[in-house]
């Protein structure tokens, strides 16, 4: 089994570099004034097609309502001051715009809070992918001393003192309030936080006028540089891991390395997984600054240049960066007004 695993891993690495090589060749020999002159289809990226976010999902509406109330309720924290929404504000793109979030008793966390928007589509949760589901993810911040600093018995006791909560849980789950029921309701609400019908989705569905010429050209630059080797699939990310710093050591150049920079190493204990993180989704990326696991990039301009240098081994042309940002502006979808 170990031999098969190593073989598959090397095949994955080989595919990644072949994708980048193809992108380099396209960028080197083809100057793309319009999309028709590029050798890539408009709906493909890496090995997984970019698909539009579904316009509708089938979710239990009563669980969504209960989950929304719990998501915004500070009683889930030790001091009754921190809610899920404190770090994942829906008015701020599902995050808090801080490099590192402030949690229980004003403590500063170790990681940048990723957006909760479209998190239900991600293949794993947390930057290091240590949680396999949204339900499992919720245990993390609830128990973390720097985040909510609480525990399920205390939370259940608080919620049980509310007749409204007792009635809501009895109606939906037919028994007493429990940790699993709380997590189920919150996770259902979080799955409802998807953002369909972005202009890019309209474009993928066949509306060629949904994007301007500059945005279409930015999409082509995005593909030609090789960004799609990792930012692929429906979310343009969120479906694979990658090392931060393939063509250079970004962490070393940034300075101040900490254990928070070790990524997947915390999960697997393997030296090869140090600095490896889940590739973030680019959906709604205009609204989710600062960027990266450490929040070290304050702007998209800075983030794109760092990615092109350290992930793709190239120096970014400013015009190309500006065009890619134009493309990123098409990735913001519509959050149902009931969530605002």
**Enzyme catalytic residues:** 147
Question: Maximum CA pair distance of the chain?
Answer: 68
In 3D space, the residue among 253, 258, 250 whose CA is nearest the CA of residue 110 turns out to be 258
Question: Residue 81, Cβ neighbours under 10 Å: how many?
Answer: 14
Distance CA 216, CA 197 (A): 17
Q: Rounded to 5, what percent of the chain is helix, strand, coil?
A: 50, 5, 45
79-86 CB contacts, 8 Å cutoff, 24+ apart: 79/104, 79/105, 79/149, 80/158, 82/147, 82/148, 84/116, 84/141, 84/186
258 DSSP assignment:
-
Q: 75: Cβ–Cβ under 8 A, 6 or more apart, which residues?
A: 155, 158, 159
Q: Do 72 and 64 touch, CB atoms closer than 8 A?
A: no
Distance CA 114, CA 104 (A): 18
Distance CA 264, CA 114 (A): 16
Distance CA 306, CA 297 (A): 8
In 3D space, the residue among 196, 78, 70, 75 whose CA is nearest the CA of residue 134 turns out to be 70
In 3D space, the residue among 115, 56, 109, 69 whose CA is nearest the CA of residue 91 turns out to be 115
Q: 273: Cβ–Cβ under 8 A, 6 or more apart, which residues?
A: 263, 264, 265, 267
Distance (Å) of CA 314 to CA 186, 224, 307, 317: 42, 12, 9, 9
């Amino acid at each position: 089994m170990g031999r098969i695993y190593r073989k598959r891993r090397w095949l994955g690495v080989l595919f990644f570099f072949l994708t980048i090589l193809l992108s380099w060749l396209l960028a080197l020999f083809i100057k793309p004034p319009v999309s028709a002159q590029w050798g890539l289809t408009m709906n493909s990226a890496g090995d997984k097609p970019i698909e539009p976010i579904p316009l509708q999902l089938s979710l239990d509406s009563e669980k969504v309502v209960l989950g929304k109330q719990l998501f915004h309720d500070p009683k889930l924290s030790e001091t009754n001051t921190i809610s899920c929404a404190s770090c994942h504000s829906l008015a701020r793109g599902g995050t808090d715009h801080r490099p590192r979030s402030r949690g229980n008793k004003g403590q500063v966390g170790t990681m940048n809070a990723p957006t909760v928007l479209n998190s239900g589509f991600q293949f794993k949760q947390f930057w290091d992918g240590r949680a396999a589901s949204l339900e499992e993810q919720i245990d993390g911040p609830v128990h973390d001393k720097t985040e909510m600093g609480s525990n399920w018995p205390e939370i259940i006791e608080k919620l049980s003192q509310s007749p409204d909560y007792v009635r809501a849980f009895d109606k939906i789950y037919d028994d007493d309030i429990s940790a699993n029921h709380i997590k189920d309701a919150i996770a259902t609400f979080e799955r409802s936080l998807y953002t369909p019908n972005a202009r890019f989705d309209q474009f993928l569905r066949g509306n060629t006028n949904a994007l301007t010429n500059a945005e279409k050209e930015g999409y082509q630059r995005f593909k030609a540089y090789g960004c799609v080797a990792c930012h692929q699939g429906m979310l343009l990310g969120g479906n694979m891991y990658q090392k931060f710093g393939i063509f250079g050591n970004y962490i070393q150049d940034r300075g101040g390395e900490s254990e928070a920079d070790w990524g997947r190493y915390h999960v697997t204990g393997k030296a090869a997984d140090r600095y490896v993180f889940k590739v973030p989704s680019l959906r709604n990326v205009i609204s989710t600054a600062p960027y990266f696991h450490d929040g070290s990039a304050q702007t998209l301009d800075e983030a794109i240049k760092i990615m092109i240098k350290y992930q793709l081994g190239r120096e970014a042309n400013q015009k190309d960066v500006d065009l890619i940002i134009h493309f990123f502006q098409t990735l913001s979808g519509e959050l149902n007004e009931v969530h605002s």
